Chain A
Amino acid sequence: MERTIRVDRPWSWRSFFLQWEWLLVLIFLAVHVVNSLLSPYYFNADTFLQTPMSFLDKAFLVLPMTMVIILGNIDISVGSIVALSAVLMAVAYNAGLPMPLAMALCLAVASACGLLNGILMTRFKELSSVIVTLATMIIYRGIAYAILRDQAAGGFPAWYSALGWDSVGGIPIIVIAFAACAVVFALLLHRTSFGRRIYGMGSNLTASRYSGVRTDAILLTVSVLTGLMAGFTALFLTSRMGSTRPNVAQGYELEVIAMVVLGGVSTSGGKGRMAGPLLAVFIIGFLNYGLGLVNIPAQVLLVILGLLLILSVLVLNLRFRDRHPRTPPATEIAGP
């Protein structure tokens, strides 16, 4: 199939408002309206300030996953990285390492896991990222189990739980941390040559390589960033739980990929923006919370999330197919 990227597309109000992100904004607002109608306990300051605490831990993973998917790759090892780094942090702390150092170790281990993913992907180019991260997903989780077996580890100092539960000036610490990370990632992706190269590689890896882009270096950087963010998730998740087990963050990879795809990032690479997945994080988070407030069973939530996902794929596909023939050929670059 032929893939195209448009360059120098003329700006118009029409194309601005026809963007997927606007539909997400509408869905986001609809979620709030529906939730407020369903439950009298929904629309208040507590909801907007406190609720993000419970769903933002995995949102850190959405940021690098957006880059990974724009690259045309996928990373299913992130949940296992969270588990491994959290387990090592707990074990190191219980072995006598001071907590700040244990936290640094958590981030270091997670980054190293990401780096290993990156090295494997750049060394064995014939393997797809799914296969590589499937293997490391099993390995990382396996190591976590080998270390702790079926036990939990915890007993962290009291101040550490503040990370996941406390607020500064009314705003939860986790929200502040996430906002900071989101700004950095958005700037990286949309305002730097690094970001532009990610799009380039996602659209046409071969062309990028022949244009002198150091594709391996970029892939490695994104992999390390992915690991680092998994470390952040581990820090906040463990803080909220007060202890950790080898089976934490199970299934996070799929939830995160779902958020990125709902955010309008194409799994074939090269398309999508940071704003979409960010909106998707809050759509899914608040939807979950709102439906939980009216005690809708867990399975129904899964069905609704699945439907939203299919909807996003359908709409994006329709938009693309419809507009394709109308794009003037002069402003296209054909991809393989």
Chain B
Amino acid sequence: MRKLLCRALTTVALAAMLAPPAQTWAASGDKYAIVFKNTGNPYGDRQMSGFKAGIEEQGAQAILRAPDQPTAEAQIQILEQLISQKVKAICIVGNDRDALQPVLTKATKKGIKVFSLDSGVNPASRLTHVNQADSEKIGQTLVQAAFDMSGGSGEIAILSATSQATNQNLWIEFMKKELAKPKFANLKLVKVAYGDDLRDKSVSEAEGLLQSFPNLKVIIAPTTVGIAAAGKVLTDKGLGGKVFLTGLGLPSEMATYIENGVCPYMFLWNPIDVGYLGSYTATALVSGKITGKVGEKFKAGKLGDYTITKAPDGGTEVLLGPPFKFDKANIADWKKVY
């Protein structure tokens, strides 16, 4: 009896290990990898799907990876695995600006073209960076939105992703710079809270903001997870019309809150296009058409021509385009798209 059971269990264990049908490696063609921050992030899923579409229409093979936790440790492990697989290029959406440098340098030494996308890594670890929109413009746009929603004065707060998220930090920096202008003298930034791009933490951070600052007029959430969490909290507490929400959100997730007035309007670019632009940047780097220097030009499929420009952090970047505004008038159409 015991032997039989042991044998049965061993068989089950082996079967469990064999079960996931992993034939990704078997396909022919060069491999291009994208590593997102963590799994279960709808924005990241769209970005990776855009990357995949772009790589596949060029006849190569795309590898989409993301760790289960949004940490640099977990991304290091995945990057090591990609180096072993001899991928042609790695497109990294970083969880930490500097902590990935050793492993990315190792990849570069093995001849892999490394560049960052959306959330950048430091210039020493990358050839170039694919950015959604001009960071300064995003900061200015969001502050202007808060200004308009609050009527020009009052307390505002920011609900961000992790404290190490590169792009959010850059936008917050530009927001602070914008707020320092005399026009916004009556807008008071009371706190920057970090929801770590985790749904539950973002919800409790949003609740914390409302409790600590009863006179809060606007929450700016420059992250899709944060803004959706804040939208839910404001709706549940019936604070629509009293506390306004704006920031960067996915239309499909935010449609409810835009329609019920909690979030009068918000901004985003198309994350699918960001990933798509990343895929053409990857192939252009591998073919040698570009090397990541300012002024180099390449064609990104259906998106058209792009030029590499100087990035505010001292490296170079490729900009997708200006942020797009979603409000009651257009949300019904866009929520079906992404």
Contact = CB atoms under 8 A, between A and B. Distances in A.
Interface of A: 23, 26-27, 30-31, 34, 38-41, 46-47, 50-51, 53-55, 149-152, 154, 161, 164-165, 237, 240-243, 245, 247-251, 287-289, 291-302, 304, 307-308, 311, 314-315, 318-319, 322
Given A293-B81, A318-B2, A23 B10 contact: yes
A26 B77 CA distance: 25
Given A288-B77, A318-B2, 18 more contacts: A34-B18, A47-B84, A53-B80, A54-B77, A54-B80, A165-B102, A241-B73, A242-B99, A291-B22, A294-B25, A295-B65, A295-B81, A297-B39, A298-B74, A304-B17, A311-B9, A311-B13, A315-B6
B69 A250 contact: yes
B80 A41 contact: no
A51 B162 CA distance: 28
A28 to B, nearest CB: 12
A302 B20 contact: no
Interface in B47-90: 63-69, 71-74, 76-78, 80-81, 84-86
13 contacts: A27-B13, A30-B17, A38-B22, A39-B85, A41-B85, A41-B86, A54-B77, A152-B98, A243-B96, A245-B164, A250-B69, A292-B78, A295-B81
B329 interface: no
Contact of A240 (B68, B81, B85, B102): B102
A161 B77 CA distance: 16
A27 B6 CA distance: 13
Contacts of A31: 17
A307 B13 contact: yes
Interface in B1-40: 1-2, 5-6, 9-10, 12-14, 16-18, 20, 22, 24-25, 39
A242 B162 CA distance: 18
Contact of A292 (B9, B13, B77, B194): B77
Interface of B, helix, strand, loop or mixed by DSSP: helix
Interface in B93-150: 96, 98-99, 101-102, 106
B85 A293 contact: yes
B163 interface: yes
Contacts of A47: 84
A298 B69 CA distance: 9
A240 to B, nearest CB: 7
Given A243-B96, A287-B17, A299-B39, A54 B84 contact: no
A46 B81 CA distance: 11
A39 B26 CA distance: 9
Given A41-B86, A150-B163, A242-B99, A300 B20 contact: yes
A318 B68 CA distance: 33
A40 B20 CA distance: 17
* CB-based closest 6 A-B pairs: A150-B163, A294-B22, A298-B68, A292-B81, A241-B99, A322-B2
Contacts of B20: 291, 296, 300
Nearest to B23: A294
A152 B164 contact: yes
Given A54-B80, A243-B99, A322-B2, A250 B39 contact: no
Contacts of A249: 73
A191 to B, nearest CB: 31
A150 to B, nearest CB: 3
Given A54-B76, A150-B163, A295 B64 contact: yes
A26 B99 contact: no
A293 B84 contact: yes
Nearest to A239: B102
A318 B5 contact: yes
B84 A41 contact: yes
A255 to B, nearest CB: 11
A162 to B, nearest CB: 10
Contact of A152 (B12, B73, B96, B194): B96
B33 to A, nearest CB: 8
